[in-house]
Structure 1
Amino acid sequence: MRRAHPAPPAERLRRIAAAADLFATGTVAGLTVPDYCHLVSRVGGVPITEVSSAVERIAERLRSLAAGLDQARPAGAVTDWRDPLTRGAGRAVHTRRGDVFAVHAAGNHPGTHSLWPEALALGFRVAVRPSRREPFTPHRLVTALRTAGFGNDEITLLPTDHAGADNVLRGADLGLVYGGEDVVRKYGADPTVLLQGPGRSKILVTADVDWRDHLDTLVDSVAGRGGTGCVNTTAILVEGDPTPLCEALAERFAALPSLPPDHPKAVLPVQPASGARAIADYVSRRAAGTRAWLGADTVADELGDGSAVLRPSVHQLDRADAPQLGTELPFPCVWVAPWRPEEGITPLRDTLVLTALTTQEPVLDALLADPTIANLYVGDHPTHWMRPGLPHDGYLSDFLMRTKTVVRD
């Protein structure tokens, strides 16, 4: 991979766009799109309608990579030292920080695979270590990229155990790693690794806004897209008494059906029954001392085939600094707590996405200024809202690239 020479930028983008079309509409490695969606749904436990939707979102992002890279690049930088702007007064040139990029992929949702192809577009050679939970999406995408013209020394899939995964990461110049707190502890001090850890996404509702007008968004933020992502809401903080909101959330969540993941009306994630019971047991321990509106006893709803639906959980806390607020789990699980303005934004920190249902500009100023809050959505926007060209946890190219001054005669 180090010896490989990347194609010119325009050709790389053409290949990625062709791969996007093949990924979303074609037969890849013998699998049609419906075959692939069914496989991911049954094995990964993601509702099949969400898998199908993710296919379209991945393809859309890959087709729009050129515009996204332009938005991410510093306004004063060019992409090639041959650009006429480098003559005379000079110019900044956007350049790679290495040649080989390793990805320890996530398996909770297919949509995570819309991010790393950006490195391929920038000229990196990319090695993807798939998740054991769901290797089908990266296999399909890597195969589509090769079919579109990338060599197997430019993009490769490397299924391996944890020890092998560490070797892949050490062999690369830069790496992207998904995981929980254990991954954060392991790689947090390594400047060559970009971590995609727990999102702990949150919603703030202040007293000047009636949460009843936004209940659909609150429910969707917690349980939308299967409720498994780092952008799904983990905690809701409410100025005033959170009891009525907890009651309304529990009523809405209790009405969601328990269905196999490949059922066309499935909306909740499914796991092997033993794993689901283990998650329920963890919720029971973690929720000690809270008020359960939908508790651990309803989390694992077994389907009778060795699997279980992970049903939503709603717990009410008595203070904004309760330790449960930082607990993120792979299903719709939300912790609801009271918030007072005098507590400031401290309870809202360490958040990937924060939706602020407030009209208070000083609060919004403080939230935007806080470096531990990655994204701020103001008003009626679910925390899982995304759009191609906008950063997820900063732009990936912020990590992959640097600017060099070039001046020439």
Structure 2
Amino acid sequence: MTDLIQLDVLGPAGPYRSRNRATVADVSGRPVAELSLAPTVYVDRAMAALRRATPLPLDERVAAIAHAGQLFATSTINGQTVAEYEHAVSRVGGIPIQVVRAATATAMRRTEQLYNNLQHARPWGAVGDWRDPLTHAGRAVWSRRGEVFAVHAAGNHPGTHTLWPEALALGYRVAVRPSRREPFTPHRLVTALRMAGFGDDHVMLLPTDHAAAESLLRGADLAYGSDEVIRQYADDPLVLPLNPGRSKILLTAETDWPKHLDTIVDSISHHGGTGCVNATAVLVEGDPAPVAEAIADRLALLPNLPPEDEKAVLPVQASSVARALEKFVLDKATGARALLGGAGFVEELGDGSAVLRPVVHQLERPDDPRAGVELPFPCLWVAPWSREAGIVPLRNTLVLGVHTKDERLISALVDEPSIANVYVGAHPTYWTDTGIPHDGHLAHFLMRTKGFIRG
């Protein structure tokens, strides 16, 4: 066990290697790393240190985050080269290596553009600092809602860690509780941020057990994430839960859907289908069978490969996890028409791991609740849709890809509060750009406006 990668707690006095450690295994069950776990008393002291710390000036924060992104994507950190880090994430998370590499590049790009992204989130009439000359005449000032921000990180994709650095840029001190499923990315990013100029008491990595996680949450002013602890506080206005995306595609009757088949299939399978922005349901005005069959034919061609293979495009999990998912889906799909994966979709790789192959089922009704079942691989539900059904089956959607010429329908979808993003035309559901919110701007949760005037 001495050759395992050591992922220390990154606390207020630097790295800390605890006696209580969790073994991090790859998809075959082979131990790869040891993750130190911070006890509750350590977490309490760490959160107090974050609260005492004074933020760096804005210009220094923004420059340090951009520098950290470059270090993250190009440097040896914690003894790991970029290639070694990406290989570890691929093997442990079961994510295709090309997906991990793309996430690395995205991390650098987003940290470079972070300041501009925040300006898109700031209310147009508000200034970012009370010292702005405009405040002599009275202005709204964009201000933090607190001082300490806790992140309970998801482990499904390394890209989830490109959002929370915005809190650092806004002057929060940040504690990150990494997922044991994939702790390499947050450990590397927190280390890079410290290398770039943030103090140990400004950003921390605090891996914990369940009890200490509660302490981390209580010690923060605001928190967000997607783990079990966060879900227990989902009704707390100071906690922002990251819910399943349940992203969808709608094809109305006038749509020449074969023309858009590439976009549809890409929305389902891009990045291995692991993201909340991947489409999990396609609703079709008219007969959904031809659409379902065409999608299934395309997805059936994807290869079975270990995640570190250059040509891998599908996620891989430990065989036991994959078989549990298989049973869950097959039980859930009872009575639906199976076009792909109906007899099973787990492909063993012979080393204790298995590929999660695509699954396509056709449903009979647009309001079938199974259309909202989201899983960490390309698992698609295709259903009919009608004008009479309206927007009800399209609610609770992170990204809705819409192929229609009906502007009244588009307006209704944009006005629907439970649909976070609407992409009309040939844009995949995973598309994003600087200034485009994910599920609203995170800054809208972190900040508020205050009226301010001075003489």
- Normalising by the residue count of structure 2, what TM-score does the alignment of the two structures yield? 0.88
Q: SS at 1:298's partner residue?
A: coil
CA contact (8 A) 2:71 2:192 kept: yes
In 1, Cα distance between equivalents of 2:342 and 2:221: 43
Q: Do 2:341 and 2:357's aligned partners in 1 also have CA atoms closer than 8 Å?
A: no
- CA gap of 1:301–1:184, structure 2 versus 1, over 3 A, is same
> Is 1:175 matched with 2:203?
no
Q: Which residue of 1 aligns with 2:122?
A: 73
Q: Is the Cα contact below 8 Å between 2:144 and 2:446 reproduced in 1?
A: yes
* 164-173 vs 302-311, greater mean Cα deviation: 164-173
| Equivalent of residue 203 in structure 2, options 150, 155, 174 | 155
Check the 8 A contact 1:349/1:372 in 2, yes or no.
yes
Which residue of structure 2 lines up, in the alignment, with residue 39 of structure 1?
A: 88
Q: Does 2:76 match 1:27?
A: yes
DSSP 3-state at the match of 2:375: coil
SS of 1:338's equivalent in the other structure is strand
Per-residue Cα deviation, 1:119-176 (whole angstroms, up to 9, x for no partner): 0000000000000000000000000000001011000000112222121111100001
Maintained 8 Å contact 2:224/2:230: no
Match of 2:255 in 1: 209
Equivalent of residue 341 in structure 1, options 387, 397, 411 = 387
2:176 partner SS: strand
2:359 pairs with 1:310: no
Gaps of 5+ in 1: none
Per-residue deviation, 1:187: 2.3
Q: Pick the aligned partner of 1:122 from 165, 170, 188.
A: 170
Matched, 1:240 2:289: no
For 2:67, the equivalent position in structure 1 comes to 18
Residue 51 of structure 2 corresponds to 2
Report if aligned partners of 2:398, 2:439 keep a CA contact under 8 Å in 1: yes
Question: Contact 1:113/1:138 (CA < 8 Å) preserved in 2?
Answer: yes
Report the AA paired with residue 69 of structure 2. A
Number of aligned residue pairs:
406
> Which residue of 427, 432, 437 corresponds with 1:381?
427
Letter in 2 for 1:168: L
Correspondent of 1:54 among 103, 109, 116: 103
Superposed CA offset, 1:214-268 (max 9, x none)? 1111111111011011110011000011111111111111110000000000000
Distance 1:183 1:232, change over 3 A: farther
| SS in structure 2 of the partner of residue 197 of structure 1 | coil
2:230–2:239 contact (8 Å) kept in structure 1: no
Partner Cα distance (1:345, 1:50) in 2: 33
Question: What is the match of residue 111 of structure 1?
Answer: 159
- Work out whether 1:330 is the aligned partner of 2:376: yes
Gaps of 5+ in 2: 1-49
Counting only pairs closer than 5 Å after superposition, residues 167-316 of structure 1 correspond to structure 2 as: 167-179=215-227, 186-316=232-362
Give distance in 1, aligned partners of 2:272 and 2:432: 15
Q: CA deviation at 1:297?
A: 3.0
Partners of 2:343 and 2:365 lie apart in 1 by: 24
Runs of 4+ in 1 over 3 A off after TM superposition: 182-185
CA contact (8 A) 1:281 1:296 kept: no
Structure 1 contact 280–297 (Cα < 8 Å) conserved: no
SS at match of 1:2: helix
TM-score if structure 1 supplies the norm length?
A: 0.98
Counterpart-to-counterpart distance in 1, 2:230 and 2:343: 30
**Cα contact 1:283–1:296 (8 A) shared by 2:** no
Code of the aligned partner of 2:95: V
Matched residue type, 1:53: A
Provide the rounded CA distance (Å) in 2 between the counterparts of 1:159 and 1:102: 12
Task: Measure, in 1, the Cα distance between the counterparts of 2:327 and 2:443.
Answer: 40
CA–CA distance in structure 1, aligned partners of residues 128 and 315 of structure 2: 43
| Preserved contact between residue 184 and residue 197 of structure 1 (Cα < 8 Å) | no
Aligned-pair CA distance for 1:79: 1.1
Partner of 1:86: 135
Using the TM superposition, give the Cα deviation of residue 7 of structure 1 relative to its aligned residue in structure 2, in angstroms: 0.6
Q: 1:136 aligns with which of 144, 162, 184?
A: 184
Change in Cα spacing, 1:161 to 1:223, as seen in structure 2 (3 Å) is same
Q: Deviations over 1:53-76 (max 9, x none)?
A: 000011101110111111110011
CA contact (8 A) 2:95 2:314 kept: yes
Q: Give the structure 2 partner of residue 102 of structure 1.
A: 150
1:128–1:156 CA contact under 8 A, matched in 2: yes
Q: Distance in 1 between matches of 2:374 and 2:229?
A: 14
* In 2: Cα distance, 1:293 partner to 1:85 partner: 62
Deviation track 1:100-136 (CA, whole Å, cap 9, x = no partner) reads: 0000001000000000000000000000000000000
Counterpart secondary structure, 1:336:
strand
